[in-house]
Structure formats: structure tokens, C-alpha cells
Amino acid sequence: MTSTSIPIPGYQPTLENRLWTFVQQALILLLISSIILPIFWMTITAFKWPRDVYSLNSAIWFEPTLTNMVTVFQHPWNLGNKILNSIAVASGAVALAIPMATLAAYAFSRYEFRLKKTIFLTVIASHVFPGAVVVLHYFLMI
Amino acid sequence: MKRIPAYVWLLAPALLFVAAMALFPLLYSLVLSFREWKLAQSDVPGQWVGLDNYWYLLTDDPELMESLWATLIFVGFDVALTVLAALCAALLLQKPSRMSTFTRILLILPFVMSPALIGISFRFFLNPEFGILQFLLSLVIPALDGRIWLADRWLSMTAVITSDIWHWAPYMTLVILGGLASIPKETQEAAQIDGASHWQVFKDVTFPQLKPVLGIVLVLKTVFALKAFDTIFTLSNGGPGTSTQTLAYFVYHTAFHYYDLGYAAAAAYLLTALLMICSFFYLRLIFKK
């Protein structure tokens, strides 16, 4: 259970210890598979023909295809544009947020000023509000 | 003229941004929550109604009451199970071995996936005709065979909670692992040498030292569970009926399906009040350290 089992020279693990190790490893395997299997399933679905996607008979054995990879870049899906959009949003957000946060963090850590705690809490608290409260306004701005 | 101190310049960009993107919208929706504004009827805010939105919300809206129940169930089970699963997983993985290192790397995968993708995937896995999870589960639990997950109020809630646990528990495991690593090993060794069992070492030595981290994980997860929207939107869409419609979803639904902006703003402030209470505990935990 804890990592503190102290290695003792000539120590022979008892049956109980071995059983416990086995149970632990089985649980870790369970953990690994519960993370990997859904991702695995999403991934193989990307290589299936539509008829195999919507059928359990060809769940594991199916004729793989790369057509989806081509289709998704074509009209009306245009994944290429969407990837560019994502890159634009992500790099814009990083380019704005990191410099601003760095400057502010420097001010918070190196300077003493009035209302420091209040200002700090205001900045932090803006993260806690639900998107729904602010999104109304974004919606109206557009 | 007095010279402006450097920290003002350093803080200005961040504060201006926070003011424009968070504080202003917040105040704006506060104002909206005191007015009537049905977007279907008018494109400018209507008359002032004082506390009517809040009054109607709290006394005369069965949908909100159901939504509060759904929120309570969702947040309660979600937070408890996520933290419990994360704690168990962290205890399993803290012993260094090749397998646990590999698993630690895997843990970040669900967290970096988009919640919307997780919602859609779980919807796909649970499809009654070709859903792999539905198929496997009905092999293990025959009672589930032929049940349509997203058409049953409790199964649908289970699905929503499970998908959110899948999304968050691995990340929380990493956080708790960090907490476990910061506990001095000597304390556990000393207890072991004094003859404490594994369980006693955990209960009386590890757990008390882990409490601050667990507290932070608990409060943070509560905030995120209250805000959860993407997974619910893509997985169950609040349904069947309104059974998985949590407060965050309710706000969205009121604003963008009923186009009742004043009322939605009032509901949003109810949610904000809940979040403020959580944040208060969170900040107390942080500043106590």
C-alpha cells in the first residue's frame, strides 16, 4: 500500500505479500486499460468504413480504410481550416496570456502595494465564475 | 507629478484584460438579472423588474428545482467518486516501478482530451445498437441488456458522471501523487519500524499529511463539477427530459433556447453564489498554508 517497505537482506516475501503485489498489479492493469481502451476505440473507429462503425459484428475485425482521413479534409468538413482556426486561437491566447500573466506575477511577487491581496483575489476569482455568466455578454457583443 | 510606480505598469495589462473580459460581463449580467429581456420579443433590454427574476426562480419554477436536484446528484457523486478513485490510483502508483511510470504518463491523456469529444465518444459507446460499452456492460450485468442508457434518467446520469470521472480522475491522481511525494518518507518508515500495519500507516501517518492536498482537490473538483457543461451538452444534452440538466446547463438552456436573458442571468447568479461559497473554502485552504 505504501512505498515504504524497507528492503531487508535475505527477506523472503510471504504468500500474503506476493498475493498483495499481484492484486496491486492487476488493479494497475485495470487502470491502464480503462484509460487506453476508450482512446483505442476512438482511434480504430477513425479507420473504419461507415458500415463497420455502426455494427458490432465488425467491432474488432474490419477492413481498414484511410478514406476518412481524406474525407475529413474535404467539403463540408474542411478539417484543414478548423486546424488553422485552432492554431490561431491557441497561439493568440498564449501570446496574450503568458506575457500578461508574467508581468502581473512579477508585480505580485516583487512589490508591496495597497490592496495587493484584493487585486490578486480579483484576478484569481475571474477564473471561477461559470462561463454561462459571462457568455451572455460575449453573445451580445457579437 | 508623482512618478507612477513600476508595478502599476506591470499589472495594468492583466487587470485591464480581466476587467474587460470578466468583471464587465459579470456586472452586465448582474444588471440584466434585474430586468426582463425576452430576446424573441425585443433586441434591447426590457423594463426593470427588480427581484422578480430571482423571486420567480426560487419560488415558482419546477424546472429549476429539478435542475438543482440534478446538480446536487451530479456534483455529489462526481466529486466523491473522482477524488476516491484518484486517491486509490495514486496510492497504487506511488511505488516506483516501470509499470507505474508508464501509467503516470498515460494519466495525462484523458485530461488533455476535449470534454466535447469525450461526451460524443461516450454517447457513441453507449448506443443501444452498436455501442461497445453498452455491449460489454450487458455481458457483465445482464439486467442492462437492451436498456437504452440515454433514455433512462438514472442510467443517463450515471453515464454523465462516468464520463466526467474518466476526464478528471487521472489528472487528480497526478495532483495527489504530487502530494504523496512531498510527504517525508521518514515519518512512514518510523511508523513501520514501530510495528504499524499498512492500513495504520496510511490512516495515521500518510492521510493526515495528505489532507491539505485532498482539500484543494476536493474544492477544485467541486467548482469544476458545478461548471461542467461540455460533456453534459454533448453526451445527454440535459436529457432525458430535464434529468441531467444541471444548473450550468439550465442557464444555457434558458438563455439560448428560451431566449429569456434576464431570467438566465438571474439563474447564472444563483450558480455564481454556489461557486463563491466553494471558492471561499478554496481560498481559505490556500492561504492557510
B188-242 pLDDT per residue, tens? 888 888 888 888 888 888 898 888 888 888 888 988 898 888 889 999 888 788 8
Mean pLDDT of chain B: 86
Contact A4 B13 (CB under 8 A): no
Q: Tell whether A128 is covered by a domain.
A: yes
Residue A84 lies in a domain: yes
Residues A77 and A137 placed together within one structural domain of the fold: yes
Q: What is the DSSP letter of B159?
A: H
Residues of chain B in contact with residue A25, where contact means CB-CB under 8 angstroms, are 99
**A38 and A76 part of one domain:** no
Question: Under DSSP, is residue B30 helix (H, G, I), strand (E, B) or coil?
Answer: helix
Closest CA to B179 of B208, B203, B199: B208
Kindly list the residues from chain A whose CB atom is less than 8 angstroms away from the CB atom of residue B193: 6
pLDDT value at residue A134: 64
Contact B14 A104 (CB under 8 A): yes
Find where cell 492557510 sits: B288
Q: What are the pLDDT tens digits along chain A (142 aa)?
A: 444 556 666 667 788 888 888 898 899 999 999 999 999 988 888 888 888 888 887 777 888 888 888 888 888 888 899 999 999 999 999 999 999 999 998 998 888 888 888 888 778 777 766 666 666 666 666 5
**For residues B255 and A130, what is the distance between their CA atoms, to the nearest angstrom?**
14
CB contact under 8 A, A41 and B28: no
Q: A96 and A81 share a domain?
A: yes
Distance from CA of B96 to the nearest CA of A (A): 8
Residue A7: inside a domain: no
Q: Find, in chain B, the residue whose alpha carbon is nearest to that of A3.
A: B95
Whether residues A62 and A92 share a domain: the answer is no
A80 and A133 in one domain?
A: yes
Q: Do A4 and B248 lie within an 8 Å CB cutoff? A: no
State how many domains chain A has: 2
Asked, for residue A10, whether it belongs to a domain, the answer is no
The closest alpha carbon to B248, from B27, B73, B67, B61, belongs to B67
Residues A80 and A62 in one domain: no
Residue B90 pLDDT level (bands cut at 50, 70, 90):
very high
A119 and A138 housed in the same domain: yes
Question: Residue B89: which of A31, A110, A134 has the nearest Cβ?
Answer: A31
Q: How confident is the model at residue B79 (pLDDT cuts 50, 70, 90)?
A: very high
- Which residues on chain A are in Cβ contact (under 8 Å) with B272? 129-130, 133
Q: Which domains does chain B have, with CATH numbers?
A: 53-288 (1.10.3720.10)
Identity of the residue in A6, A54, A123 whose CB atom sits nearest the CB atom of B14: A123
DSSP code per residue over A67-128:
HHHHHTTSTTT-HHHHHHHHHHHHHHHHHHHHHHHHHHHHHHHH---TTHHHHHHHHHHTTT
Residue A78 C-alpha, separation from nearest chain B C-alpha, in angstroms: 18
The whole-number pLDDT of residue A10 equals 67
> A47: domain range?
16-66
A58 and A101, same domain (yes or no): no
Q: Do residues A62 and A76 both lie within one domain?
A: no
Of A50, A66, A82, the last residue of a domain is A66
CA distances from B96 to A49, A64, B85, B104 (A): 42, 39, 19, 10
State the pTM of this model. 0.83
CB pair distance less than 8 Å for B10 and A24:
no
Q: Does residue A11 lie within any of the structural domains?
A: no
User: Could you say which of A66, A81, A107 is where a domain stops?
Assistant: A66
Q: What is the pLDDT of residue A87?
A: 96
pLDDT value for A2: 47
Integer Cα distance of B24 and A122 in angstroms: 12
Q: Is residue A132 one of the residues assigned to a domain?
A: yes
Q: Is A44 at the interface with chain B, CB within 8 A? A: no
Residues A52 and A99 reside in one and the same domain: no
Is A82 in the same domain as A129? yes
